[in-house]
Chains A and B, each alone.
Chain A
Amino acid sequence: MKFDTPATQNPIDQLKVIGQSVNRIDGKFKTTGTAAYAYERHDVAPNQAYGYVLGASIAKGRIRAIDDTSARAAPGVVTIVTTLDTPPLALGQMNYANLFGGAEIAHYHQAVAVVVAETFEQARAAAFLLTVDYETEAGRFDLAAEAGSAEPVGGDSGEGSDSGPGDRVGDFEGAFAAAPVTLDHTYTTPDESHAMMEPHATIAAWQGEKLTLWTSNQMIAWSKGSVAKILGIPKENVRVDSPYIGGGFGGKLFVRADAVLAALAAKAARRPVKVALTRPLIVNNTTHRPATIQRVRLGATRDGIITAIAHESISGNLKDGPPETAVDQTKLLYAGAHRLTGMKLARLDLPEGNAMRAPGEAPGLMALEVAMDEMAEKLGLDPVEFRIRNDTQVDPGNPERPFSQRDLVGCLTLGATTFGWDKRNPKPGQVRDGHWLVGLGVASGFRNNLLAKSGARVRLEVDGRVTVETDMTDIGTGSYTIIAQTAAEMMGVALDGIVVRLGDSDHPASAGSGGQWGANNATAGVYAACVKLREAVAQRLGINSADAVFADGVVRSGNRAVPLCEAAASGELVAEDAIEYGDLSKKQQQSTFAGHFVEVGVDIHTAEIRVRRMLAVCAAGRILNPKSARSQVIGGMVMGVGAALMEELAVDTRRGFFVNHDLAGYEVPVHADIPHQKVIFLDEPDPQSSPMKAKGVGELGVCGVGAAVANAVYNATGLRVRDYPLTLDKLLDRMPDAA
């Protein structure tokens, strides 16, 4: 189905099932431990052996030799595959460091061997008997030190934000010089880790030339292609299956070493092999969100109209790796006639930087939205009011291009009233609650809505049930449930009459899970397949499909009413289709918006920061399931608190690795860090986005929250910290007098 004109009235608009806060259909499996994740698929292949991965203990250089004599002789060892036994493997899609093969080491903990044994304990013990002789080379590990030599670069996050090396509208420098009120500050964000709870894991089995990978991956079709490319085998010979994924956040968009090494090890062992990356290996072996150094300049009239806006960012990556696209949202978020955005990239020898939840916007808004707060104060304006004054209903760089929908102002105003913003004291450091200094902060949230082709197959079974098959994944996002809701709405059956099968590359290719594009596109693909199935049903029943109504398990037309299951009485009906898009999103900008509000307390004695209240008001198209959508938003808000207050991969700038590479050293928010969170969705179906009239919401929640926390800390203390995370050592020696 081609979607190239705005949606009109369709069966989804009935909102009998869609738009309802139904419980997740996979909930009873997840809560009882019966949802099987990759490493737990004992039943899929007999006689699975255990693979244990050894990572490089240098950041750059090469391996002279690997002595595996004692490891091979160790009890239970089946086989060992070392990187020296393997030619350098091709790179997978959006992959910049070799996952395995050859003597060269491009980053710390790059996989150098996999030991296969009868048990996990034996494989682990034998892996530590390997002796690797390294030749170390000097590398570049310090972004601040390399920033001066960073080159201008354009880039694309692959997830909906892209920017040129220097994009200009009007005359930024002239307008900035002429502006009566200006701001020029530099902000830094650190390297961050996805830290999803399920480690990357794969079971691999070969049947002749055919390889099956039971794995944990967000993008099945990409990964099938990547596995084929990496291993140099035809795509048709690869099957990837990921029905449950224990979190990804961008860290499982791509094939990683677990999948490749399980495949190689299974080939060498001539039996199925399962491999999970150990927790301490994940941070340096896989990808991370790269650190940024961001300069924001704002020029405004005295009454707070922005005339000049510039946002420039420097990040680092391995050779050929992309920049962190932290400036992209600044092209679209606020008005202003004279504009500049630019990126520079330093060559670093740290592990591969790549997408993490809202790549670009998440760190970009942490800078821009603090700058907006600082500028509002300079102007003597309320920060909510300052943002509203600079709202734009069109793409500022291309004014004939409107937003399809944009109610940032509504998010901010409703948020302000709901949160009690009028009680905020604009003078910082004034509000006390016992030993706590209390402050409120606000920030805008922004993230684009992306359209991508997405396919599905639906079956009307003989027993009247409807089965949906697509390679779409559910990484915690609620895909199972919203897909079932879509099929239930379209076919007029109850939710429990729908079976959803996801994550299998033998199913039609979907948009997959990334860039908050999953919900809208995957359900639109199911919509397309259901439209076809409705036609097939009508045809078989001899009903005119144009006026057929599907409801309550019955198909009605004129005065005929036939049970839906009758259409399958003579055999199952199958329909397959995909949603494909025209150029609607080029004519009108499709984005999602939020107003984030945060209250913090800062301990007057210790500078400990506690988040006390949080609210997000979101305008993000039709909300397909408010319950699971809300969870996506609060999850993003939690990650935003982490980014603001604690998350930082510490770089050893001499040895070239992230030091705190486990869940004890890399701190993420825990229960005690997070208060009750409130989320409000504005009701705004967007007919430009798809027949579902929905948009993404999974990343909007993390966009802007960090800045709202930082702004609240400023309001509480009067202390501005421009280097994330806001740990107490950055406040302590400047804290106001406790008296």
Chain B
Amino acid sequence: MADAGAPVGPESPVMANVAFTVNGKRRELDLDIRTSLLDAAREHLHLSGSKKGCDHGQCGACTMIVDGRRINACLTLAVMHQGSDIVTIEGLGQPDNLHPMQDAFVRHDGYQCGYCTPGQICSGVAVLAEIEAGIPSHVTADLNAAPEATADEIRERMSGNLCRCGAYSNIVEAMTEIAGRPA
């Protein structure tokens, strides 16, 4: 919002060049600096697997894995990611070459409409990596022990990914199965 009295009028958008790696490929874009990382992917790279459920960091549908950590791509500007290594749902696996987590979602029916699903899967992969890395959560009882991929840990860490279709019970089963696999 402009301050009261400040002149508002036609100003050309400020553009900036940004380069990052998306799913292993270097991508370079000239973007209006107001472009979110989510819209850079969806509207400019036509990688629309990452979904826009709210554009406000309230739903998790836009989750991507950036430099190894999951983030809400709607809450970050693309130009803040110069040099970042970005993995989207399209980078995890493809229809005929599913990532184990994608495959587990299919077998456990961990989705219905599918709109939250890419976000759930990206979060799911990152959550198991977080647990593996020993990062504690709100429900970790013993901060000195290594956290485990219990149902409670999974539910807590996945709670930023809303699913209005209510596939939660199946998502937890899919993730538990993957977590239980030998590395």
Contacts and interface: CB of A to CB of B under 8 A. Distances in A.
A76 B13 contact: yes
- B: contact size bracket: 35 or more
B170 A29 contact: no
B126 interface: no
A632 B39 CA distance: 31
Nearest to A126: B10
B166 A669 contact: yes
Interface stretch (A221-229, A593-601, A636-644, A649-657): A636-644
Contacts of B168: 638, 669-671, 674
A30 B111 CA distance: 8
B22 interface: no
A663 B13 CA distance: 30
A31 interface: yes
Interface string B99-121: 00011011101011111111001
Interface string A173-201: 00000000000000000000011111100
B45 to A, nearest CB: 10
B9 A662 contact: no
Given A29-B95, A635-B165, A662-B58, A197 B109 contact: no
A627 B161 contact: no
B165 A73 contact: no
Interface-centre pick from B8, B59, B112 (highest chain A CB count, 10 A)? B112
Given A662-B56, A672-B155, A33 B50 contact: yes
A664 B115 CA distance: 18
Contacts of A638: 163, 166, 168
Given A245-B113, A639-B166, 17 more contacts: A23-B107, A28-B95, A31-B102, A32-B95, A121-B39, A197-B61, A197-B116, A198-B53, A276-B52, A279-B58, A280-B56, A476-B112, A663-B56, A670-B162, A671-B163, A671-B172, A676-B172
A70 B9 contact: yes
B177 interface: no
Chain A interface category by residue count: 35 or more
Contacts of B96: 28
A248 B164 CA distance: 10
Given A75-B13, A121-B32, A674 B114 contact: no
A129 to B, nearest CB: 6
Interface in B29-64: 32, 34-35, 39, 42-43, 46-56, 58-59, 61
Contact of A32 (B1, B90, B160): B90
Interface of B: 1, 8-13, 32, 34-35, 39, 42-43, 46-56, 58-59, 61, 88-90, 92-96, 98, 102-103, 105-107, 109, 111-118, 121, 151, 154-156, 158-173
A334 to B, nearest CB: 28
- Most-contacted residue by chain B among A27, A74, A128 (CB, 10 A): A27
Nearest to A193: B164
Given A24-B109, A197-B115, A638-B168, A31 B98 contact: yes
Given A34-B49, A279-B56, A476 B118 contact: no
A36 interface: yes
Interface in A611-642: 627-628, 630-632, 634-639
Contact of A75 (B1, B12, B53, B115): B12
A246 interface: yes
A1 to B, nearest CB: 30
A249 interface: yes
B138 to A, nearest CB: 9
Given A70-B8, A247-B115, A476 B165 contact: yes
A638 to B, nearest CB: 3
A671 B158 CA distance: 6
A729 B34 CA distance: 41
B163 A32 contact: no
Contact of A119 (B10, B11, B32, B92): B32
